[in-house]
Structure formats: C-alpha cells, structure tokens
Amino acid sequence: MNFLVKLFMLSACLFTTVYASETIVITGARVHTLGPEGTYENATIIINDSQFTAIGSDLEIPGNAVQIDAAGKIITPGLFSPMSQLGLVEVAAVAGTNDATQRGDQFSAGFDVADAYNPRSTAIPITRIDGITRATIIPRGSTPDEDGNASSVLSGLGSVVNLGEGSNHFLKRGVVVVVNFGESGSQIAAGSRALATMVLRNALDDAIDYRENKTAYERGDLIREYSISTFDLKALQNVIDGAIPLLFHVNRASDISVIVNIVDEYKIQAIIAGGAEAWMVANDLASKKIPVILDGMNNLPVNFDHINARLDSASILNDAGVQISFGASLDTPNARNLRQSAGISVANGLPWNKALEAITLSPAAIFGVDRSIGSIEVGKEADFVIWASDPLELMSYPEQVFIQGIAIPMKSRQTLLRDRYLQSGSDKPPAFRNR
C-alpha cells in the first residue's frame, strides 16, 4: 500500500474528533515550545478552552481528559504563512476567483481584502494539513486590467487569519499596509523606481498633514488636495503613528537602502518581503529593526533585482541580528512549501531552532500577534502539529494538526481525489463509483 495512504489511515486511527470544550492531554512527545522553557523530552501538554493550560513533565492528568499518546513523536507550534492570498484566490488566472488584486484610483492604502476572505476555499485544507495553522492574507498589485485600471504603489491592508473551521476566522485585521517597490513598484509607477518612492513619500506626507489638520479639513475650513482619498489617509494613520508597519515587496539592495532611509525619516515600521539582496545591507536592517520575509528557495538571478541572491542569505541576516521569516513568493497553491524554504536554509547554515522559529513565532511577532500564537506557552491559543519525524525534512508530514485546540480533519480535495482514484475492485469508471 502507498506510504501516504498508510499514513492517512494511521492518522484516522490515532486522532478522533476533538472539540474545543474538552480537556485534551498529549503525552510522551518531544515538544519544541519556542518559548522560554525551550524543548521538553517526554512532555505532557494539557489543553482546555482552546488554550494551553499546562506544559511540562510528570503533570497530573485530569480524569475527564481526552488523552493522546504521542510517544516518540515531535510537537511544534502551528506554522504561520506570513504572505498569502489564501481564501482570496482559487485560480490566479481566473478573474472571478481572484479577490486579492488592488486596481483603480478610488482606494489604495485602505483597500481591505479581509472583506473578501472565503474560509471555505479549497486551498485552505490543502495548506493546513501540511501544518500551517495561521496566515497573513495580503493584497497585491498587478498589471492593468482590460479596462485600463492600474494598481497603485500602495496595495492595501493585510490581516491575520486562522485556518480552522470555527466561526471567528480573524485573529487581527489591518496588521500591515502593503507597498510595491523595486521592479514591481517601478512597473506600477509608470516605469520608474524614483516615481514609486515619490508616490509613497507624498502619501505619507499627506497622511501627516491630515492628522495635524483633520478637524479643520473635515469641517471644510481647510482646503487640501491630497494625493490619496480620505479613506486611504485614515488607513495610513496607524502607519505614521508607528502602530503597524509597511510591508515592502522589494529585492534589490539599493531599493532596500531607500526604505531604511524612509524608516529613519518618518519614524515608521517596515517589513521587507522578498529581500533577495537584503543580506548585502544586513547591518542597516538590524540597526533599524526591520525584519525580512525571505524566499528560502531563491538563489537564481531571475531578474536584475535578484543578481546577488544566495541560499545562505537567511544565515547571514540571522547572524547580523535581523529577524527573519520565510514565505515570500509562495503564492496560494505553494504556501505549504514553507517548511522547504526553512529546511534549505538549515542546509545552508541557519541553526535548526532559528529555522523553526522563522516559520512559527517570528512571523507572529512580525505582525504583532505573538502574545496569542507562535509558541507553545500557557495562555496561548493551542495551535500545534504532531510530527513523526523532523518537520524540516522534505519527506516528513504532519500526523495531526490542531487549531485552537481542535484536531482538524486531515483531508483536502486533493486527498479525497487521491482516495477516490485509488479505489480498486470495481468495474465501474471512477466517475460512477461511490464518493
């Protein structure tokens, strides 16, 4: 029997349906908490009301608990995809299933994709059975549509979602404003990087002016012609106040240096997404506390912004003190390749614990939700994964994924199709067999 089929049958036997109201006790595993308590061997985890309530050794087990024996297994926090269009895009080439793209002049910074999020997207189960329990959904820019509506340098707001099946899908809305810089920003801003920079500076200056003159402007006592709408000006208030960062799609070192200067000038927060050449300015990024979300599989000069891409960039950035994560360039179908990015970076010098942190706790901290998720600590939401082997190995696979203390079904449209077409002993074609 196929190895993956055996694995899914084993999972079905080991993990029955668990509900949030039940007390769950998991015993015997090696637990990488990524919290102050580090790694436990032969640990016990107690979960109640969707939260971790106790983690340690030789804990007293409540009599009414649902017990799971995880002896010999590995437990990690749930993985976090920091840049995705999950629930926003089914098929990127089909316009009717693509709600992530910002176009038009009416809204830019204030464009909020959260209102289009579809928690029943077929891409979500495919992603979460690979261990990804949370994601930041973000808008993106693109080429003009058939009516000539173009994207803006400012693409809009991103939000953090959980990939479970409950009713409350948003952990935090409006955690970041997305900016197109570098080659993508140049294409959007009429072919000029300088113009993209001017568009951003103008928007930030307008947001500051609006903050200082808001009452008079809204009362009509002050006439201003701002470069962006009032809706967008309001969306940028959290940016200029330092409450949320700007996330820059950018790869070239010189463009990243411009961002460092903007951060210093406006006293704002920033995140670099892509960062193929970020290692070249690692010390500057560290000094300004600017994190980088990398594509750990990218070491090819796919364009002139990637000339100096290298597989050990995560290691170089980490050694310089830059906070890193993985997930740049992983679009909706490939969000589950997060572990592969981290594993490749381990093979190129990044410590294993740092790589695991980069796909769990680090993205939670980057988007300001690390008090709730990202590590296995008492009081945090019980997102975690049980593995049979090293989660950063390419051939490893989750045995069970928990989101908010609930064991999710380890199946997706892909696994259902696989099982259907593996059926044997029937003379009927697959389309006519029982589903």
* 8 A C-beta contact, residue 155 and residue 199: no
More confident residue, 325 or 219: 325
| pLDDT computed for residue 6 by the predictor | 40
How many CA atoms are closer than 13 Å to the CA of 403, on its beta-carbon side?
A: 27
CATH H superfamily, domain 79-373: Metal-dependent hydrolases (3.20.20.140)
Single-letter code of the amino acid located at 405: G
More confident residue, 62 or 132: 132
Distance (Å, rounded) from C-alpha 103 to C-alpha 39?
A: 47
Q: What is the pLDDT of residues 21-77, one digit of tens each?
A: 689 999 999 999 999 999 999 999 999 999 999 999 889 888 888 999 999 999 999
pLDDT for residue 143 is more than 80:
no
pLDDT for residue 418 is more than 50:
yes
CB count within 10 Å of CB 39 equals 13
| pLDDT computed for residue 11 by the predictor | 44
pLDDT for residue 148 is more than 50:
yes
Single-letter code of the amino acid located at 41: E
More confident residue, 22 or 244: 244
Share of the chain above pLDDT 70, in %: 92
- Arithmetic mean of pLDDT, 366-393: 97
Looking at 2.30.40.10, 3.40.50.620, 3.40.50.1820, 1.20.59.20, the CATH number of the domain 3-76+398-421 comes to: 2.30.40.10
Q: Give the tokens for residue 178.
A: 């997305």
CB count within 10 Å of CB 194 equals 10
| pLDDT computed for residue 204 by the predictor | 97
pLDDT for residue 308 is more than 80:
yes
CB count within 10 Å of CB 208 equals 15
Across the chain, mean pLDDT equals: 89
Share of the chain above pLDDT 90, in %: 67
Q: SS3 of 261, please?
A: helix
Distance (Å, rounded) from C-alpha 252 to C-alpha 230?
A: 32
Q: Is the dihedral of CA 297, 301, 302, 306 positive or negative?
A: positive
Q: Is the dihedral of CA 277, 281, 284, 289 positive or negative?
A: positive
pLDDT for residue 241 is more than 60:
yes
- Arithmetic mean of pLDDT, 172-177: 96
Q: Where are the domains of the chain?
A: 3-76+398-421, 79-373
| Alpha helix segments (H runs only) across 267-326 | 282-287, 313-320
Q: What is the pLDDT of residues 281-306, one digit of tens each?
A: 999 999 999 999 998 888 888 888 88
| pLDDT computed for residue 300 by the predictor | 81
* 8 A C-beta contact, residue 2 and residue 42: no
Distance (Å, rounded) from C-alpha 275 to C-alpha 250?
A: 6
| pLDDT computed for residue 92 by the predictor | 75
Distance (Å, rounded) from C-alpha 61 to C-alpha 22?
A: 13
| pLDDT computed for residue 7 by the predictor | 41
